[in-house]
Chain A
Amino acid sequence: MNWLIIFTVVLGVLAVARLLKVMELSAALRGGDVNDITEDNNKNNALTWIVFGVLFFYAFYWQVKNYGALLLPESASEHGLKTDMLFDVSMWIITPTFFATHIFLFYYIFKYYHRKGQKATFFAHSTKLELIWTVIPTIVLTSLIVYGIGTWNEITTPAPQETMVIELYAKQYDWTARYAGKDNQLGKASFRLIDGVNALGIDVKDEAASDDKIVRGEFHIPVGKSVNFKFHSRDVIHSAYMPHFRAQMNCVPGMETMLHFVPTITTAEMRVKTGNDKFDYLLLCNKICGASHFNMQMKIVVESQEEFDKWISEKKTFAQEIAPPAPVAATVDSAAVAADSTKVDSATVKVVAQVH
């Protein structure tokens, strides 16, 4: 089979080579050169450009129509509405430019293809034209820059004080989320403390660590509340990518990065909006990190405050996870307070801290 293919290819190549020689000789007989560009060549290529141009525009339209529906649904975060708006405005600038320049391009190369007796116009320079097309892009781009940087500044302000803190901890090839707990403060951690049980290397002696809650597989956030993510990685660079929230941040070993946003649409609502009852928000890894980079994901659930409180209250604290089973009373106690703690206004945090 393989030999047959090779044989056919070789035969084909030889045949084409013969054919080229024949064409060359017959052209020579007619007193020409095979590779002179004839008037027919010019005309046909010019026509092909027009056909190509029409197909090109049609393909653009077709893709927008068919693939447009597959894009990300509306932004599920507050700041995402702003960046989506910026995106739309930018698209409304670049798409017409794309069409206009290509229409001129295709039209001119069609209109001015070489013909006998036609002469090109000697037109080397025009200060006026050049000024026009330097100044117009400059104005358009300046506006875009001002608008773009304005949006960027709005969405990169520091997180409000009382924002709930969640750590997203990356390693090859999974994610771990750690909730700061009722004190809204993550316990200290160090890569030197990592061992089989303590996969994040959390400092057991740090008071702030005891109420932290560690979850894997999926993590929940309450709708309408600002969440402040702190990112860490223990091995290589990963990138926490939450496309539905228009959020992404690199996770860099040896350094802490941060990002905060306000989710606005619950998972249940998004299922209705997308007409897909299996829809889930996802956290993906978006920085090449090794063989299973393509499968480093975690589910995100956005739900009401009550649902969230219930969910988080069922999770064990770090202290409970590593300590031997504590007396029953204590567990109940901390669960009750934990439910409390997620009301993230600073007053509550203070009260909880006092109770603690």
Chain B
Amino acid sequence: MSSHAETLDHGHHDAHGHDHEHFHDDHDHHEESFISKYVFSQDHKMISKQFLVTAVFMGILAMMMSIFFRLQLGWPGKSFPILETFLGKWAPGGVLAPDMYLALVTIHGTIMVFFVLTGGLSGTFSNLLIPFQIGARDMASGFLNMLSYWFFLLSSVIMVISLFLETGPASGGWTIYPPLSALPQAMPGSGMGMTLWLVSMAIFIVSSLLGSLNYIVTVVNLRVKGMSMTRLPLTIWAFLVTAILGVLSFPVLFAAALLLIFDRSFGTSFYLSDIYIGGQALEHTGGSPILFQHLFWFLGHPEVYIVLLPALGLTSEIISTNARKPIFGYKAMIGSILVIAFLSFIVWGHHMFITGMNPFLGSVFTFTTLLVAIPSAVKVFNYITTLWKGNIVFTPAMLFAVGLVSTFITGGLTGIILGDSALDINIHDTYFVVAHFHIVMGASAIFGMFAGVYHWFPRMYGKMMNKQLGFAHFWLTIVSVYGVFFPMHFLGLAGIPRRYYTNTEFALFDSFSDINAMISTFAILGAIAQCLFLFNFFYSIFKGAKTKHNPWNANTMEWTAPTEHIHGNWPGAIPEVHRWPYDYSKPGMPEDFVQQTVPLQNGEVESH
């Protein structure tokens, strides 16, 4: 593979410093063309930016959808011309149609979970940081890495195309439970829209697997001399474990989707049995819709950690750097990542407590689920202790990282309620669940992603993002996140189901209309706050102030490489690593940070 050859090539030149002139000539010789540099790039730095920008666009789409359906929920039946402008026949007279409501919710969830927080988050930061922070020239396979991005883009495009279908996009919820998702007679979105959803997701899974395998191989094989596993930044641990989760769980979703495709198109009955719909008894017998749920959640639960772990990794790094203190309990942090990852494979049944499962099985899943709270609590306490007696610099990244700690606490605690099967009976599928997972997974992962973007923007683009806009962005965002999702706990405890087009059909829920309007108002405020980010992001790419080298005085390897974009990351030999990444404010050192490449002083004890 070409990039690999090149990696070796660099190594060779490094070993013989006197070859340097020659090497440069060589490089100018095959000056990259626009196409190979910006489009079909095999360079991890460029691929990471491609993932980021694609995810930003998908994120804008998903956010707009959420505003559209929040308009309906906040002011049911009221006419909003903007809805008709964007949705045409799906919002006649400016009032969202029930079918379109479900379609928007479905695609919003799908995009947020998979395209923004899986593809976007891992794609951007695993690509950017794995080679940089372990001291590698690039990914193990630049070519597969490039393919991973192009499959991601292709699946994104297909998902977007499905929005324009005559019968609308998939509408059965992001969990696409059959028979609803299997039968076009059940809802229009289960026709062509569902087909495209499945095709898009199948391609997405290919992308994710290519990426994950590459990440694993790279971390395992390409660490620079001295970079032992226990000197890896927590970011890399998080990305590595995330990739392993992905490799183990996405194929199961692929299998689930494949069987669904068979049921839909080839008359098999894996998930279907005893159905009478559209005035007709169907031929399918013997299948089980519950089988699909087992397969789906076997991916689905690890998936929530695929979303969350990278965010926790980024946050660990950012909190330590900006508190100017080592991350507290480095080994315990690694341990809790591993324990969480392991447990995430044996808790999937908590999404299925009320499918009529054997009560004994329900108790087993309650047991394993509540165990997850232990490593999660350890992480929270370690974050807080890292802040204790720190010297905290409030960069925009640091604000978001601290915001993540808050949302992770708030959302994690309600997991203790949901995970209890006896309690889940009455709050399953209500707004309580919506509040829980948006806070613990949605907000936390998005906060981690924003923190990452603000922190590594200088590394990606050589520019700084504007700090004032960053501050405003953060404060408005955290206020609106809690303004939107905190009240939802109460809606859920009052028995309001999720995925309802409106709650006005019941006198029971009348007293909640004000709360719903308030929630929608906060949602709009939140969307406006994201405009600050979008402006800052694109403005800074082109016009931002130049960054200085290592702007945050951080220890990790990526800041030892020159700010300019060079193929192979370091011009000469890759510097050797001599210490862990968290020597911040170490006594006896001249400055409050010591980069990993600095050898131990005389008599200095290595810290862990």
Report which A residues bind B (CB closer than 8 A).
13, 16-17, 20-21, 23-24, 33-35, 37, 41-42, 45-46, 48-49, 52, 56, 59-60, 63, 67-68, 70-72, 80, 82-83, 86-87, 90-91, 93-94, 97-98, 101-102, 104-105, 108-109, 112-115, 118-126, 129-130, 133-134, 137-138, 141, 144-145, 148-149, 151-153, 155-156, 171-172, 190-192, 194, 201, 231, 234-237, 239, 241, 243-244, 246-250, 252-258, 278, 280, 282, 284-295, 297
A101:B366 contact, CB within 8 angstroms: no
Choose from B173, B388, B586, B607 the contact partner of A108 (Cβ within 8 Å).
B388
A125:B329 contact, CB within 8 angstroms: yes
A254:B289 contact, CB within 8 angstroms: yes
Choose from B288, B394, B486, B535 the contact partner of A63 (Cβ within 8 Å).
B486
Contact residues in A for B354 (Cβ distance below 8 Å): 239, 248-250
A137:B467 contact, CB within 8 angstroms: no
A130:B420 contact, CB within 8 angstroms: no
B486-541 CB contacts (< 8 Å) to partner A: 486-487, 490, 493-495, 497, 499-503, 505-508, 511-512, 515, 535, 539
Q: A35-B467, A236-B186, A250-B354 are in contact. Are A137 and B373 (CB under 8 A)?
A: yes
Q: How far is the CA of A98 from the CA of B354 in the complex (A)?
A: 28
Name the distance in Å between B347's Cβ and chain A's nearest Cβ.
Answer: 13
Task: Write out, one digit per residue, whether chain B residues 410-423 have a CB within 8 A of any chain A CB (1) or not (0).
Answer: 10011011001111
Q: How far is the CA of A63 from the CA of B410 in the complex (A)?
A: 15
List 5 additional A-B contacts (Cβ < 8 Å) besides A124-B608, A137-B374, A149-B363.
A46-B394, A98-B409, A129-B385, A172-B277, A241-B429
Q: A122-B587, A236-B180, A290-B186 are in contact. Are A145 and B395 (CB under 8 A)?
A: no
Q: How far is the CA of A246 from the CA of B422 in the complex (A)?
A: 10
Q: How far is the CA of A90 from the CA of B429 in the complex (A)?
A: 19
Can you list 25 A-B pairs, Cβ within 8 angstroms, ordered by A?
Answer: A42-B394, A94-B413, A97-B413, A109-B402, A112-B323, A114-B393, A115-B391, A120-B325, A137-B377, A172-B186, A201-B276, A234-B275, A234-B277, A237-B289, A243-B495, A253-B272, A256-B356, A258-B356, A284-B495, A284-B506, A287-B177, A288-B499, A291-B501, A294-B497, A294-B500
B298-346 CB contacts (< 8 Å) to partner A: 323-332
Q: Is B475 close to A, CB under 8 A? A: yes
Q: How far is the CA of A261 from the CA of B402 in the complex (A)?
A: 45
Q: A16-B535, A71-B493 are in contact. Are A35 and B464 (CB under 8 A)?
A: yes
Contact residues in B for A86 (Cβ distance below 8 Å): 420, 422-423
Q: Is B405 close to A, CB under 8 A? A: yes
Which interface class (under 10, 10 to 19, 20 to 34, 35 or more) fits B? 35 or more
B486:A144 contact, CB within 8 angstroms: no
Q: How far is the CA of A126 from the CA of B389 in the complex (A)?
A: 15
Name the distance in Å between B555's Cβ and chain A's nearest Cβ.
Answer: 13
Contact residues in A for B359 (Cβ distance below 8 Å): 152-153, 156
Q: How far is the CA of A104 from the CA of B409 in the complex (A)?
A: 12
Name the distance in Å between B329's Cβ and chain A's nearest Cβ.
Answer: 5
Q: How far is the CA of A129 from the CA of B392 in the complex (A)?
A: 22
B187:A21 contact, CB within 8 angstroms: no
A249:B356 contact, CB within 8 angstroms: yes
Q: How far is the CA of A102 from the CA of B410 in the complex (A)?
A: 9
Interface centre among A35, A134, A201, A255, by most chain B C-beta atoms within 10 angstroms, is A35
Contact residues in B for A256 (Cβ distance below 8 Å): 356
Interface centre among B173, B289, B507, B586, by most chain A C-beta atoms within 10 angstroms, is B289
Q: Is B252 close to A, CB under 8 A? A: no
Name the distance in Å between A299's Cβ and chain B's nearest Cβ.
Answer: 10
Contact residues in A for B394 (Cβ distance below 8 Å): 37, 41-42, 45-46, 113-114
Contact residues in A for B281 (Cβ distance below 8 Å): 191-192, 194
Q: Is B543 close to A, CB under 8 A? A: yes
Report which B residues bind A (CB closer than 8 A).
98-99, 102, 172-173, 177, 179-180, 183, 186-187, 272-277, 281, 285, 287-290, 323-332, 354-356, 359, 362-363, 366-367, 370-371, 373-374, 377-378, 380-382, 384-385, 387-395, 399, 402, 405-406, 409-410, 413-414, 416-417, 420-423, 425-426, 428-430, 464-469, 471, 475, 478-479, 482, 486-487, 490, 493-495, 497, 499-503, 505-508, 511-512, 515, 535, 539, 543, 545, 548, 551, 582, 584-587, 592, 607-608
Q: How far is the CA of A121 from the CA of B506 in the complex (A)?
A: 58
Q: A237-B180, A284-B497 are in contact. Are A35 and B466 (CB under 8 A)?
A: yes
Contact residues in A for B410 (Cβ distance below 8 Å): 98
Q: A56-B482, A287-B429 are in contact. Are A155 and B505 (CB under 8 A)?
A: no
Contact residues in B for A130 (Cβ distance below 8 Å): 329, 332, 378, 382
B99:A291 contact, CB within 8 angstroms: yes
B423:A123 contact, CB within 8 angstroms: no
Contact residues in B for A145 (Cβ distance below 8 Å): 366-367, 370-371
B608:A70 contact, CB within 8 angstroms: no
A105:B387 contact, CB within 8 angstroms: yes
Name the residue of chain B whose CB is nearest to the CB of A200. Answer: B276
Choose from B389, B405, B422 the contact partner of A155 (Cβ within 8 Å).
B422
A289:B180 contact, CB within 8 angstroms: yes
Contact residues in A for B98 (Cβ distance below 8 Å): 291-292, 294
Q: How far is the CA of A148 from the CA of B607 in the complex (A)?
A: 42
Contact residues in B for A125 (Cβ distance below 8 Å): 328-331, 608
Name the distance in Å between B284's Cβ and chain A's nearest Cβ.
Answer: 8
Q: How far is the CA of A306 from the CA of B393 in the complex (A)?
A: 73
Name the distance in Å between B432's Cβ and chain A's nearest Cβ.
Answer: 11
A123:B289 contact, CB within 8 angstroms: no
Q: A21-B543, A153-B363, A293-B499 are in contact. Are A52 and B423 (CB under 8 A)?
A: no
Q: A41-B467, A145-B366, A237-B180 are in contact. Are A112 and B99 (CB under 8 A)?
A: no
Choose from A17, A118, A138, A291 the contact partner of B391 (Cβ within 8 Å).
A118
B409:A148 contact, CB within 8 angstroms: no
Name the residue of chain A whose CB is nearest to the CB of B402. Answer: A109
Name the residue of chain A whose CB is nearest to the CB of B548. Answer: A33
Name the distance in Å between B455's Cβ and chain A's nearest Cβ.
Answer: 12
Q: How far is the CA of A249 from the CA of B586 in the complex (A)?
A: 58
B416:A94 contact, CB within 8 angstroms: yes
Name the residue of chain A whose CB is nearest to the CB of B100. Answer: A291
B273:A122 contact, CB within 8 angstroms: no
B608:A83 contact, CB within 8 angstroms: no
B378:A134 contact, CB within 8 angstroms: yes
Name the distance in Å between B161's Cβ and chain A's nearest Cβ.
Answer: 23
Name the residue of chain B whose CB is nearest to the CB of A145. Answer: B370
A63:B490 contact, CB within 8 angstroms: yes
Name the distance in Å between B566's Cβ and chain A's nearest Cβ.
Answer: 24
Contact residues in A for B469 (Cβ distance below 8 Å): 20
Name the distance in Å between A117's Cβ and chain B's nearest Cβ.
Answer: 10
Name the distance in Å between A255's Cβ and chain B's nearest Cβ.
Answer: 7
Q: A63-B486, A71-B490 are in contact. Are A121 and B325 (CB under 8 A)?
A: yes
Q: How far is the CA of A111 from the CA of B192 in the complex (A)?
A: 57
Name the distance in Å between A331's Cβ and chain B's nearest Cβ.
Answer: 31
Q: How far is the CA of A141 from the CA of B417 in the complex (A)?
A: 11
Name the distance in Å between B321's Cβ and chain A's nearest Cβ.
Answer: 11
Contact residues in A for B177 (Cβ distance below 8 Å): 237, 287-288
Q: How far is the CA of A192 from the CA of B465 in the complex (A)?
A: 65
